[in-house]
Chain A
């Protein structure tokens, strides 16, 4: 099925470890984003990309890196995991509605990360 695929679904890391959260979409969407979701905080933007080779920071980028070498993939790297990065991470891709000039988001099912 077309959509946004995130792996892994669950992950436990020790403080200081690094890892990469994978995100892939097969809808040929230009825009991709990473959000984290914490209780009572809604979704907060970490990084986003407007196309292959172009990335930019969102609201909470510290401790995370991204790259966009292809349209399909947008991995999120945690450089040195900290307990404050315990969260649920969502990847989203978005399209442009040509008639309204708007962007609708398709989200992956999330990665639940625990840092101990």
Chain B
């Protein structure tokens, strides 16, 4: 059973378009992290969100944590080919066990020039 469902699984868009990917669960998480993974490399942490309703921005990337801390979204504005990669969300059930993250299966994003 996948505790974190990510959608869409695959997304292919043209450079300059906007997109949103989603990370949903029926469980409450104390925090949620987003990672980006490029081929042949390990995931790289982009952001951690902690508070329900929290919004964080990282250049053209906007991350939001749902009010009930069960879901999150990642919005990319004016996507560029360098944004191509596998985007993974990962949730921690409680701050004490945050080292044991539960990962979603990922959204494979391809941005075409």
The answer to whether A33 and B105 touch (CB under 8 A), given A102-B31, A102-B92, is: no
Q: Is the interface of B mostly helix, strand, loop or mixed?
A: loop
Asked whether A33 lies within 8 Å of B99 as measured between CB atoms, the reply is yes
Tell me which residues from 3 to 55 in chain B have a Cβ below 8 Å from any Cβ of chain A.
4, 9, 31, 33, 35, 40-45, 48, 50
- The answer to whether B95 has its CB under 8 Å from any CB of chain A is yes
Asked whether B43 lies within 8 Å of A41 as measured between CB atoms, the reply is no
Asked whether A100 lies within 8 Å of B50 as measured between CB atoms, the reply is yes
Asked whether A40 lies within 8 Å of B105 as measured between CB atoms, the reply is yes
Q: Which of B40, B42, B50, B104 has the most CB of A within 10 A?
A: B42
Bound CA–CA A90/B86 (angstroms): 15
Instruction: State which of B44, B92, B106 has its C-beta within 8 Å of the C-beta of A107.
Output: B44
Closest to B50 in A: A100
Interface size of A as a range? 20 to 34
Q: Is the interface of A mostly helix, strand, loop or mixed?
A: strand
Interface size of B as a range? 20 to 34
- The answer to whether B103 has its CB under 8 Å from any CB of chain A is yes
Tell me which residues from 90 to 108 in chain B have a Cβ below 8 Å from any Cβ of chain A.
90, 92, 95, 98-101, 103-106
The answer to whether A90 and B42 touch (CB under 8 A), given A41-B105, A104-B33, is: yes
Q: Which of A14-22, A42-50, A66-74, A78-86 binds B?
A: A42-50
| 4 nearest A-B pairs in the assembled complex, by CB-CB distance | A107-B42, A42-B103, A43-B103, A42-B105
